[in-house]
């Protein structure tokens, strides 16, 4: 997975996003682009199990969102989580990070689809 997807994602910098869609019913996050040198029109994070959004500059919002960078962090496991037998705890470890303008989206997904080609995260 990493050897195939990382080169595709590495060149995706400073690209205007035409559409950013979070679909909780289908567990997907979709990005659509029209202008980029990599010829990537669409990226879908599929089988999303968690995501969170951080807005670093809440007062300065540009009407145009750009993808500054996208990173694949790999399949990770927590080093240590102390859970008693009575607790039901959900743990989220993002494997993708999107840098958008002055904000970040952290995504935990089981696969990524780039221009209709699916890559399963291992």
Distance in angstroms (rounded) separating the CA atoms of residues 100 and 97: 10
Could you tell me the two tokens for 99?
A: 């840098």
In the chain, the number of structural domains is 1
* pLDDT at res. 84: 63
CB 43 within 8 A of CB 112: yes
Adjacent-strand bridge partners of 120:
111
CB 19 within 8 A of CB 37: no
Domain coverage including residue 78: 2-120
Q: Which residues contact 68 (CB under 8 A, 6 or more apart)?
A: 13, 14, 99, 100, 101
Q: Is the pTM of this model over 0.75?
A: yes
Distance in angstroms (rounded) separating the CA atoms of residues 23 and 12: 22
Distance in angstroms (rounded) separating the CA atoms of residues 105 and 115: 21
In tens, the pLDDT along 74-115 reads 766 555 556 666 666 677 888 999 998 888 999 999 999 998
């Amino acid at each position: 997975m990493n050897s195939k997807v990382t080169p595709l994602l590495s060149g995706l910098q400073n690209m205007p996003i035409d559409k950013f869609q979070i679909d909780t019913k289908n567990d997907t996050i979709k990005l659509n682009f029209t202008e980029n040198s990599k010829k990537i029109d669409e990226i879908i994070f599929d089988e999303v199990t968690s995501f969170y959004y951080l807005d670093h500059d809440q007062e300065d919002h540009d009407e145009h969102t750009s993808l500054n960078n996208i990173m694949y962090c790999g399949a990770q496991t927590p080093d240590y989580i102390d859970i008693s037998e009575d607790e039901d705890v959900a743990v989220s470890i993002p494997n993708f990070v999107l840098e958008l303008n002055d904000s970040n989206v952290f995504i935990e997904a089981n696969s990524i689809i780039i221009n209709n080609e699916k890559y399963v995260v291992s």
